[in-house]
Structure 1
Amino acid sequence: MPAGAAGCHWRGAPHHTVPGPELPLTRLKQSQTLLAVLALIASMASLCVGTSFAKSLFGVLGAQGTTALRVGFSALILLCVWRPWRFPLTRANARAIALYGAALGATNLLFYMSLRTVPLGLAIAIEFTGPLTVAVLSSRRAIDFLWIGCAVTGLLLLLPLGASTAHLDPVGIGYALAAGVGWALYIVFGQMAGNAHGGQATSLGLTMAALVTLPFGLAHAGTTMFSPSLLLAGLAVGLLSSAIPYSLEMVALKRLPRRTFGILLSMEPAMGALAGLAFLHEQLTPIQWVAIAAIIVASIGCTATSRR
């Protein structure tokens, strides 16, 4: 860590004899941190805008066809970028990547199915319960029960149990919860695939995800998926929802501590709600905003209090 070393080295030096490099290094570090934060915000914005655009295609392709195009184009892009055949692949890694990709494909499909009847911000918030559960179960400390309580409170506010939420579709909520389970499995299987090269695991995993989602897309949309205009729209969805966010997240991960990264990422449900309002005219009730806030608090709290 050059910045820290320089600071320690010059800390006791007289100001008039040796000019300390702390200020330029501090400014450089601050600019890099700012760049990383902006990259992560841009990543979440791109994902939410891409998902909003994808939802506008449901009338023609359905959630299944839109998912197949998004995942398929994302896989093609990453295959061209990483060329995974250049790296050796053991049988154990291939099995782990296959499970990781299947979970990724199922998660995308279930999430898009939930978007048919559930507003974008609420679907993202409900899906966040998957990784939250993984994080809490891996810790089991007393304070984690507070974050469990926040998440459960948010979910209870969204369940169609009263007049304020009766218009939410229970099937859509079920799909979003199932997507959360898929996200949790994606994390578990992704850790199992961690021994493989990162680019190879991601590109082959997305290829497996495309193989999982393509039959559902073809069964629902048929050959309509392959019309030039819809293929172009699917490419745009793949870029906005996968290629651009993944690239920007890599920029952020290299410059931000994981805890900071996780806390900032916890704001994604709110950004999704704003994107749904701006692009899809999805109006949320005050109770639903409170529910999103409760799940965000649970995610931030779980991340901030986690052990290294």
Structure 2
Amino acid sequence: MPNSQLIAVLFMVLSMVSYQISASFAKQLFLVLDPLTVVTLRLCFASILIVLMFRSWKIIKRLPYLKWKNLLFYSGSVCLMNVLFYASLGKLPQGIAVGLEFLGPLTLALLSIKQKSDYIWVCLAIFGIALMVPWQDATAQNFSYIGAAFALGAGVCWAIYIYYGQKVVRQNIGMHALSIAIVLSAMVLLPISAVHNPDALLQTQYWGKALLIALLATAIPYALDLLALKRLSKMSYGTLSSLSPALAVVSGMLLLNEHITTVQMVALVCIMLASIGVTFRAKNTEQGD
């Protein structure tokens, strides 16, 4: 595997592991704070972290000259994706929430296919996602139609995030694009949360955990995602992301004591095989070029 592609895959794996651990921590925080407050605190802390990390005040002079249409779509997708995913996480087991959310980028990967031989990996990933969701027991206590709708909405935002993320990186502003997206998201959500539940925002005893979630869920994974998008196609990125439900189930099991069934174990195998398959397919394509 070429070094650039190997590095991109490594970036994605680290991004997904970091994000799923943060999701488990966030779900623990839902016991004392509502999801909107948690995501708002996370994005507020993340905006500070990212601006400091990337010294994004340097981009201020260039703001009037940027392509704001792409940046606004990118920023809006980041904001809505986080809100909807946390809303779904409050109503569904972590693995199921992430599995449903993944249908968004998976659809994007399907639309990006150019060779018929690639369909086997996308179909395998779809089969894995289908097994992940307890369709036969949809009325069970651990499944919510509203939560599923939130997760699917987050998936649509995830697909938009991937699409416009590839456009944003072409503006040559580096990680400052992420800073702009996170700061705008925080600015939008902070007044909404202040009206929704002002007392929750001021419970400073939970700020430390919110800061940790911000680091694991925003600063680290989004930065790694932008780096990966420079080296991977939408097809490769979308299908490699199929590791997310598998990592979510493992994280939920280890950190939240959420159990998985034998059928879901089979789903994990299907998802990981699809990820491995598309990685080797991308390798062969690059060598052929």
> When the two structures are superposed, what TM-score results if normalisation uses the length of structure 2?
0.79
Cα separation, 2, equivalents of 1:178 and 1:249: 20
Closer/same/farther in 2, CA of residues 245 and 174 from structure 1, 3 Å limit: same
Long gaps (5+) in structure 1: 1-28
Change (3 A) 1:285 1:164: farther
**TM alignment of 1:173-184, pairs within 5 A:** 173-184=148-159
1:154 to partner: Cα distance:
3.2
Q: Name the counterpart of 1:270.
A: 246
Call closer, same or farther: CA 1:221–1:297 in 2, change over 3 Å: farther
Identify the match of residue 281 of structure 1 among 254, 257, 261: 257
Q: Is the 8 A contact 2:12 2:225 kept in 1?
A: yes
1:58 to 30, 35, 40: 30
Q: What's 2:70 paired with?
A: 96
Residue 285 of structure 2 is matched in structure 1 by: none
Distance change (3 Å), C-alpha of 1:300 and 1:137: farther
Quick check: 1:118–1:169 contact (8 Å CA) kept in 2?
Answer: yes
Q: Per the alignment, do residues 292 and 217 of structure 1 end up closer, same or farther by CA in structure 2, a change over 3 Å counting?
A: farther
- Measure how far apart 1:202 and its partner are: 0.9
Q: Quick one: which amino acid aligns to residue 243 of structure 1?
A: A
Deviation digits for residues 147-195 of structure 1, max 9, x if unmatched?
3433443343345531488442222222111111100011122223231
1:262/1:303 contact within 8 Å kept: no
* Cα shift readout 1:53-111 (whole Å, capped 9, x = no counterpart): 11111122211111111112111111122333423134552232121111001001111
Of structures 1 and 2, the larger Rg is shown by 1
1:187, 1:31 → 2: CA distance?
Answer: 22
- 3-state SS, counterpart of residue 117 of structure 1: coil
Alignment of 1:1-308 (within 5 A): 41-87=13-59, 88-91=62-65, 93-163=67-137, 166-167=140-141, 168-194=143-169, 195-246=171-222, 266-306=242-282
> Is contact 1:157-1:165 (8 Å) kept?
no
Aligned-partner SS, 1:162: helix
Answer yes or no: is the 8 Å Cα contact 1:136–1:144 preserved in 2.
no
Aligned-CA RMSD value: 3.7
Q: Taking every aligned residue pair, what percent have the same amino acid on both sides?
A: 35
- The one-letter code matched in structure 1 to 2:165 is G
- TM-aligned CA distance change 1:156 to 1:246, over 3 Å: closer
Q: Gaps (5+ residues) in structure 2? A: 283-287
Name the CA distance, whole Å, in 2 between partners of 1:102 and 1:273.
28
